[in-house]
């Protein structure tokens, strides 16, 4: 296995992760109570679709079919999300805390993966691919920052107020 193979494996894995996250984000958006959280999950679904388009183009450029890899990590997190939804009461700020925490974990994974892929694309001299992957990475970093702000301003204070009742 060479560096190019490792790069393609990473692309396949993030492609599957993005596909799985699209489904997971839709379900979490329905489960969320806070409107800002719902909005960011909805808008990030559109961003994820854009990333899938970029990944399709990248894999096509590398003459590799899209959709051949699997990402067990996102699958495990999706299962965890289902379990958390069953354990938290519908319509509560605590449920939003659970949704926010899970999405932030996924964001950290995606940021790390895209960061690694940018480095691999640079090392394998794929400048156009590097640019597309940097765009994906920057989108994920912005979403993580926005999620943190929503948590700090709305979700955690609401959950604390629920605890005080």
130 band by pLDDT with thresholds 50, 70 and 90: very high
Mean pLDDT (the chain) is: 91
Backbone phi and psi for residue 25, each to the nearest 5 degrees, phi listed first: -65, -40
How much is the pLDDT for 90? Answer: 85
| Gap between the terminal Cα atoms of the chain | 58
Residue found by looking up tokens 């289902």 in the block: 82
Buried b (16+ CB within 10 A) or exposed e, 59-69: beeeeeebeeb
> In this prediction, what percent of the chain has a pLDDT beyond 90?
64
Q: What is the pLDDT of residue 142?
A: 96
Cβ pair 38, 29 in contact under 8 A: yes
- How many CB atoms sit inside 10 A of residue 156's CB? 15
């Amino acid at each position: 296995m060479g560096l190019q193979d490792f790069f393609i494996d990473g692309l396949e894995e993030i492609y599957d992760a993005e596909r799985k996250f699209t489904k997971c984000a839709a379900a979490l958006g329905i489960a969320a109570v806070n409107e800002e959280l719902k909005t960011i999950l909805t808008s990030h679904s559109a961003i994820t679709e854009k990333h899938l388009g970029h990944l399709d183009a990248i894999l096509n450029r590398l003459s590799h079919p899209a959709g051949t890899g699997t990402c067990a990590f996102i699958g495990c997190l999706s299962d965890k999300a289902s379990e958390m939804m069953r354990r938290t009461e519908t319509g509560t700020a605590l449920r939003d805390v659970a949704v926010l925490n899970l999405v932030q974990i996924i964001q950290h994974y995606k940021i790390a993966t895209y960061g690694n892929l940018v480095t691999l694309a640079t090392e394998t001299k794929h400048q156009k691919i590097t640019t597309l992957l940097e765009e994906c990475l920057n989108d994920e970093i912005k979403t993580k920052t926005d999620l943190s702000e929503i948590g700090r301003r709305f979700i955690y204070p609401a959950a604390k107020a629920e605890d005080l009742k």
